[in-house]
Amino acid sequence: MSDRGGDTTSGSTSRSPLIVVAFATTTGAAIALTVVYALGGQPQVEGSLLAVAFGGLGAGLVLWARDLVPEGTATQSRPELASPEAELEAEEADLEAGGIVTRRRFVLGSLGAAIGALGIAAVLPIRSLGPRPGNALAVTSWRRGSRVVTIDGTPVRAAEVPENGLVTIFPAGHTGSADSQAVLIRLPPGELDLSPKAAAGAPQGFVAYSKVCTHAGCPVGLYLAREHQLLCPCHQSAFDVRTGANPVLGPAARALPQLPLTIGADGILRALGDFPEPIGPAYWNRP
């Protein structure tokens, strides 16, 4: 290979222009990707630009590698190897002027620009990460004293819930809240078999559990009154409401968290606090 263009000896020509074009394509695509992202993003366009950017980078590197390692056998008949004085001087002058390395620098510069533009395009999406969730995964809208209401905001009175009846409940002011929804069940006297602490939050056979399945988060909305089991329709996990909603069937491995309740002087059910543990499926740093 020769970096001096016209004096190649193998008959092949330098691919430097193509390499620069490939790297310039990467640079252009990466800049366009940055602009598209900054203007609000468009997944199909961003994906296409990313493909063009990496395609250009790959093509440039492949061409460069082929330039460095020429194919085939090159032969050249040549005269005496010793360089004439004039040629040596010309070579020296060329080196001092930077003429020989200019093309290589150019290729390296275009590669640097391509990688730099791609790097900027890769860093910008950090802006899309959004705010930290804080403890939003660990708490719901239930508070001590929250009135228990139905989906339409009607307060739930203990006297109005039939035995073995099931009501989907929310804290007043948060109807429709996905993480606060719970199921309230009134069990016949003597059916509950809870720890003393859990029993303190289940007055007169009223017991409430999170409605969010601990397997994959589906709403646990079916109640088999005869078996006293809550059933999740997604993968058929069953939870025994008498013993703290422990899973007795299916893939769920954790009990549904129990919402501690009390009955107010006005007969309306109220929460004694939030669920004692995070609701729903497991996540990476679950306490």
Residues lying near ligand FES in the complex (CB under 6 A) are found at 213, 215-216, 218, 232, 234-235, 237, 250-252
Instruction: Please report how close the Cβ of residue 227 comes to ligand FES at its closest, in angstroms.
Output: 16
Rank residues 215 and 228 by Cβ distance to ligand FES and give the closer one.
Answer: 215
Do 123 and 252 meet the contact criterion of CB atoms below 8 Å apart? no
Instruction: Please report how close the Cβ of residue 285 comes to ligand FES at its closest, in angstroms.
Output: 21
Instruction: Please report how close the Cβ of residue 247 comes to ligand FES at its closest, in angstroms.
Output: 9
Rank residues 107 and 183 by Cβ distance to ligand FES and give the closer one.
Answer: 183
Rank residues 192 and 232 by Cβ distance to ligand FES and give the closer one.
Answer: 232
| 277-282, long-range: CB < 8 A, 24+ apart | 278/137, 278/138, 279/140, 279/179, 279/210, 279/212, 279/214, 280/179, 280/210, 280/212, 280/213, 280/214, 280/217, 281/213, 281/214, 281/215, 281/216, 281/217, 282/214, 282/254
Instruction: Please report how close the Cβ of residue 168 comes to ligand FES at its closest, in angstroms.
Output: 16
Instruction: Please report how close the Cβ of residue 212 comes to ligand FES at its closest, in angstroms.
Output: 9
Buried b (16+ CB within 10 A) or exposed e, 241-274: bbebbebeebebebbbbbbbbbbeeeebbbbbeb
Distance CA 31, CA 25 (A): 10
Rank residues 50 and 218 by Cβ distance to ligand FES and give the closer one.
Answer: 218
Instruction: Please report how close the Cβ of residue 217 comes to ligand FES at its closest, in angstroms.
Output: 6
Rank residues 186 and 215 by Cβ distance to ligand FES and give the closer one.
Answer: 215
Rank residues 70 and 251 by Cβ distance to ligand FES and give the closer one.
Answer: 251
Judging by DSSP bridges, how do beta strands 229-231 and 238-240 pair with one another?
antiparallel
